[in-house]
Structure 1
Amino acid sequence: MARAGSRRSGGPPQARIRFEVDERGGVTVHLDGHPQSYVDLADPELLAFEYVQHLAACLDVLEPGAPQRLAVTHVGGAALTLPRYVEQTRPRSPQIVLEPDADLTAAVRERLPLPRGHRIRVRPQAGRAGLAELADGSADAVVLDAFAAGRVPADLTTQEALAQCARILHPTGVWLANLPDEPGRRYVARVAAAAQHAGLSRQLYVATLDVHKGRRFGNTVLVASAAPLPLAALQRALARSPFPTGVADEAQSARHRLGARPATDADPAGSPAPPDPGRWRAR
């Protein structure tokens, strides 16, 4: 989805933002030549990108403190695909979106308006600054889905950034991160090690089977928490995915990150550049 590391300027908004309508009436939002989000206003549960389906499945199996509602903080917004999904499936859930690109938010709200009665609050803030202002224990989930030029901003995946996320999560809350990586997933391992050192040591990896098997560059959703994770429920939810998907359990995830150097502010880990910029995440 959208970038949330730092504010971007330069160039008229219409040159940076493009809305592509498909034959179903759904809209892909492109930013600076990169596909960022897909939205179908008539069906907010239609999720075109496989990693968004994985993020949604992880949220579906959470049991929040308040019945049927989830308090979700999103780092990265773009067209607000996942917040719309949460609003559709768990109406009136309080959601905060940290999205520094005010031009993008304004264009999305004009072209793809949010539903009436929603509780989605978009703050024009960079991720780290926005996280620092949130209250302790205020979120059931924190979702990182932020990109700048097709890459995850490195300052959002360090041990220090994850300590902020751990602080604002309630004791059974989860951190979800969409992490693109090359076969071998060395970048994912460094982020997972950072999460472990930040206190989020219970971890699962969710990805399509070809990514799990190291056959191609692709997205892994890292699920991390201080509390046990609902592996069986998540596996059942993902079994319905149109994309063949697997879950690396806590033991497998721990083996993968073993020996990895945690990403820190002093030694950050940058996500690898996509092999085909502008098209690799399009569907």
Structure 2
Amino acid sequence: MAKTIKIIGIGAGDPSHVTLQAVEALNTVDVFFLMEKGPSKDELLALRREVCRRYIRPERAYRFAEGTTPERDRGAADYLAAVDELNDRKGAAVERLIAEEMADGECAGYLAWGDPALYDSTIRIVRSIAESGRHDLVWEVIPGVSSLQALTARHRVTLNSIGRPVLITTGRRLAADGFPAGTDSVAVMLDAENSFLAFRDDPSVEIYWGAYVGAANEILIAGRVGEVADEIVRRRAEARAANGWIMDSYLLRRTGQA
């Protein structure tokens, strides 16, 4: 009998982000995979447990199985090769849980931060395991509220301006390519180097930045890059030092267009 994997998006930090579809999926799961990233990420595991406590019916039995998420080699010269190698190791950790923590016919839930289709490797990893043929698997994806949706909602702005495209990219690409041509809205994720600083002398660029969006320790800052860049850098460093980790994203927008 096949094993079932449900990749469930749980939102960007507020348990209220969980959708009705996700609640229905939570109540079909026998075992939840919790991928540990070290003591500094305990808050992320606690949120996942809270989601289960809040939304799973009291009579529904479920359990947790913990695995270890490996870290990427951040000093590697070849970034894409390092990511591929990391995902291979992540896949091995998930496959161990499938083999050792699930019985035939059971359903496992993987609670993905934000939306699993946006800057998350879980879909690729589970697809690779399913296509390997080593396990009899069926799997599905339940969408969630992404960090960018939560960010723009908290700032009360739209992701794009009227009739204009938006680009979603990384800090690494923004630093390499600059502000892309053909759009006035750039959503940036995974920026450890504060790449927005390149635009601090451009008065036409505004930034909408947020960290821990939706959580109790949420931080929001908005304004022209040149006016708020130093504050963002300072608050970001303080938050990382205090919590041991940070999740942040931002929207850059060139002004002067509708």
Same fold (TM over 0.5): no
More helix by share: 2
Provide the TM-score with structure 1 as the length reference.
Answer: 0.31
User: Higher relative contact order by CA 8 Å / sep ≥ 6: 1 or 2?
Assistant: 2
Larger Rg: 2
